[in-house]
Amino acid sequence: MFGGLHIEMTALKTLGDWFAGKWVDPSTGTSRDHNCRNSSPLSSAAHVTRTRRAHQVTAAALYILQRRPYDQYSTTNTEDDAHPGSFEDWCSQREQSYPQFQYWSTVLAPELSTLIYVRSLREANFSMYVDALTELVPWFFALDHRELCPLDTSASAGHGRTGKQTSRRLHRV
């Protein structure tokens, strides 16, 4: 079974490949490369900390770009009956109306899933770990990163609920 760093590196490489334009053609099942520049630092994930930081900045920027129009919209249209109540409702309404908004919301989803995965490792939170992997595995298949997909779930099934899926350093007294 792969460790947390290997899964994080694969998630970062998967995101980078998507940004670089590499994906799997659903009709033929073969990999496609739609961009000639493959040396992007986001696609290599050679330096995990720098790549993670770049994805954190990307996710923060996308969230801010979504949140600002919603805040402006919610303060100016308070009397409107068709006003969506929550931020999530407003986002889903915008996704249906604007393809570009849907694209950037789709970009934000795996970015956040990867960052939530890293957080689950740091906090040793197994339910967060499982949720993040559940969201990331379809991206691994879609972008032809199948080396982590046949994970052995029997080994982690018994230890996860007790919080033994991660190890912590012991402080010497």
Please report, for the chain, the start and end positions of each structural domain, with discontinuous segments joined by +: 4-160
Which pLDDT belongs to residue 141?
78
pLDDT confidence tier of residue 72, bands split at 50, 70 and 90: confident
Do you know the residue count of the chain? 173
- Cα torsion 108, 114, 119, 125 to 10°: value is 110
Is the pLDDT assigned to residue 171 strictly greater than 90? Answer: no
Burial of 147 (0-12, 13-18, 19+ CB in 10 A): exposed
**Nearest in space to 111 (alpha carbons), one of 2, 19, 29, 6:** 19
- Mean pLDDT, rounded, for 108-125: 92
Question: How far is residue 143's CA from residue 13's CA, in Å, rounded to a whole number?
Answer: 10
pTM, rounded to two decimals: 0.70
Which pLDDT belongs to residue 102?
92
DSSP states of 31-85: EEE--S----HHHH-SSHHHHHHHHHHHHHHHHHHHHHHHHHHHHH-SS-TT--S
Range of weakest confidence among 47-56, 118-127, 161-170: 161-170
Let me know: does 56 contact 115? Beta carbons within 8 Å.
yes
Which pLDDT belongs to residue 7?
85
Residue 100 parent element (H or E): helix 99-123
Note the pLDDT tens digit of each residue in 40-65.
Answer: 555 566 678 888 888 899 899 999 99
Which pLDDT belongs to residue 142?
77
Note the pLDDT tens digit of each residue in 137-162.
Answer: 888 877 776 665 555 554 445 555 55
pLDDT confidence tier of residue 126, bands split at 50, 70 and 90: very high
Which pLDDT belongs to residue 164?
54
- Mean pLDDT, rounded, for 127-144: 86
- Mean pLDDT, rounded, for 68-97: 82
Question: How far is residue 167's CA from residue 44's CA, in Å, rounded to a whole number?
Answer: 27
